[in-house]
Structure 1
Amino acid sequence: MTDCGCAKARQDLEEYLRNEMCKTEHSDIREHLDNCPSCAEEALVATTLTEVVSRACKETAPEELRDQVMARLRAVQAAVH
């Protein structure tokens, strides 16, 4: 394995994190991240952001809020027509 360098690691970080690359490239980037604190920090930020967004997308609004939004949408639609 060879260290791919910061430019390659950062360019391919998203594909690496989603496991969308061949084993050789994945290993090269893993090795780089293990030895480069700056790129490892960027990978941690990207991973954390992805996890937070994923959790947020799974949350649902409280029933009362959804009812209020729907009532407001109906009122706006009625006013337009």
Structure 2
Amino acid sequence: MTDCGCDKAKQDLEEYLHNELCNEDAADIREHLEHCADCNHEAHMGVVLTEVVQRACKETAPEVLRAQVLLKIRELQAHSV
């Protein structure tokens, strides 16, 4: 393993965070993150952002709002035919 440097770490950070890199590349980035506070901070922000988006995708609209939206869609479809 070798420290891949900031440019490579930042370029591949998203793939790294999503476990989409080969083992060797992931190990190089992991090593870099252990020694670079700036890149480690950026990786942490990426993790937080990913978690927030994942939570938001699990939320559902209140039933009343869902019903209103579906009713409006049906009305628009009926007028466009």
Show the counterpart of 1:80. 80
TM-score calculated relative to the size of structure 1: 0.87
Q: How many residues align?
A: 81
CA apart distance, 1:53? 1.1
Output the CA distance in 1 between the equivalents of 2:35 and 2:54: 28
What residue is the counterpart of 2:70 in the other structure?
70
Match of 1:53 in 2: 53
**Deviations 1:52-73 (CA, angstroms, capped at 9, x unpaired):** 1111111111111100101111
Q: Percent identity?
A: 60
**How much has 1:24 moved relative to structure 2?**
2.1
For the residues of structure 2 that align with 1:46 and 1:4, how far apart are their CA atoms?
A: 19
Q: Which runs of 4+ in 1 moved over 6 A?
A: none
TM-score normalised by the chain length of structure 2: 0.87
Give the partner amino acid of 1:66: R
Instruction: Please list every run of 5 or more consecutive structure 1 residues that lacks an aligned counterpart in the other structure.
Output: none
> What one-letter code is carried by the residue in structure 1 that aligns with 2:79?
A
- Structure 2, unmatched stretches of 5+, are none
RMSD: 1.3
